Amino acid sequence: MEEKRHWLRDAGYTLCWEAGLWPEDDQVFWWEKRISKVERKARRDHKNGRIKAGDRYLETIIRVIMDETGESSHERNCWRLS
């Protein structure tokens, strides 16, 4: 596989991939980079119910760029610390 956006490696992105479910399916490649990692204290309960008001949690934001199309998005993940 030749990367279509090889310059992203120099910018600190990591190339990730996922194989298709069947042998004839194409593999999917994307670039990821963590752009934010912050420790926070919840002021209210989160919608998912795993983090309650007063809990400390770690929030990370990851930028994802699809190698084939160049489409980008952000993923937000939270992990409870206390």
What is the per-residue pLDDT for 12? Answer: 95
Mean pLDDT by 10 residues, the chain (82 residues): 86 89 76 97 94 96 94 96 80
Backbone angles phi, psi at 8, to 5 degrees: -65, -30
What is the per-residue pLDDT for 3? Answer: 82
What is the per-residue pLDDT for 27? Answer: 82
What is the per-residue pLDDT for 72? Answer: 96
Per-residue HEC secondary structure of the chain comes to CCCCCCHHHHCCCEEEEECCCCCCCCCEEEEEEEEEEEEEECCCCCCCCCCCCCCEEEEEEEEEEECCCCCEEEEEEEEECC
Q: pTM of the full predicted structure? A: 0.79
Q: Where are the domains of the chain?
A: 7-80
